[in-house]
Each structure stands twice: as C-alpha cells, then as structure tokens.
C-alpha cells in the first residue's frame, strides 16, 4: 500500500540531502534511506504524542526486525526531500511502518519501503508494546 492509496494518518518530514549522504556517483547512498525512514518514524511518533524517548524511558525499545526499500529514482545533494510515514500494521509485540520518500519540489516518488519493529525490554526479551504508548498509534492507524 502506498501513502497515496491509504486512508491512514500520514506524517511528512522534509529536509535537504546532506553532501555526506551522497556517494561517488553523486546520488544518495542506498543505506541512507533507512536513516530517512528513522527520521520519518521519529516525526510520526512526536506528532501523535508518543515520542520514542518516552518508550525508552519505560524500559523498552523497538528493534528493527525487517527492512525493505525499493528505489525508484535517485535523490541528489541539497535536494529537498519529504519522507511520508504511516502505520501499516500493529500487533501486540510489533509495529510496521510504511514510507515514501518523495522529491520535495516535484512530488516524484523516489523510494518506498517498510520497517517492522519488535518491542524488547532492556534485557533484549520480546515484550508486549506498552498500551499507554501504543494507544496513540492505534488511533492514527485507523485513520
């Protein structure tokens, strides 16, 4: 599912590509898209009243268990890009986010992706996502 076809709440985070994020071909290195996804997740969490720092303060983390990126067009140094983020799936112990990275000027989709996160405690054991943190995401995912 893409952001364009979803009825779910979508959060956008926009920023310019830094020179350090490009490779010798002058385009954004593929690994940086996962960093862009992280920026999108962080902004999503903040906007829905569930900052990731709050989850960590409760003694939990969301470990990345799956990551997928599909590259459609390149991004270049100093281009304005926008990361669109939404929740695709919520389970008792996991949450899956969807993403689109778009050219901030033309709106062209540059990449799409997903990340799945498993809730773990400080000992690394899989745990249920705390309800007080998760409730904000459930409302957002329902649209």
Which residues are identified as catalytic?
23
Is the C-alpha dihedral spanning 21, 16, 42, 74 positive or negative?
negative
- CB within 8 A of 137, min separation 6: which ones? 48, 50, 87, 90, 95
Residue owning tokens 């705390």: 130
Distance CA 76, CA 78 (A): 6
């Amino acid at each position: 599912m893409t952001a364009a076809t979803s009825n779910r709440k979508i959060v956008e985070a926009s920023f310019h590509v830094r020179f350090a994020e490009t490779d010798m071909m002058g385009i954004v290195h593929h690994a940086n898209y996962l960093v862009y996804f992280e920026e999108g997740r962080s902004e999503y969490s903040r906007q829905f009243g569930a900052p990731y720092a709050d989850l960590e303060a409760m003694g939990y983390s969301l470990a990345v268990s799956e990551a997928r990126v599909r590259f459609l067009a390149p991004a270049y140094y100093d281009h304005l890009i926008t990361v669109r983020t939404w929740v695709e799936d919520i389970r008792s112990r996991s949450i899956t986010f969807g993403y689109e990275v778009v050219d901030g000027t033309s709106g062209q989709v540059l990449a799409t992706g997903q990340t799945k996160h498993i809730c773990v405690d400080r000992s690394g054991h899989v745990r249920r996502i705390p309800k007080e943190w998760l409730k904000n995401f459930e409302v957002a995912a329902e649209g």
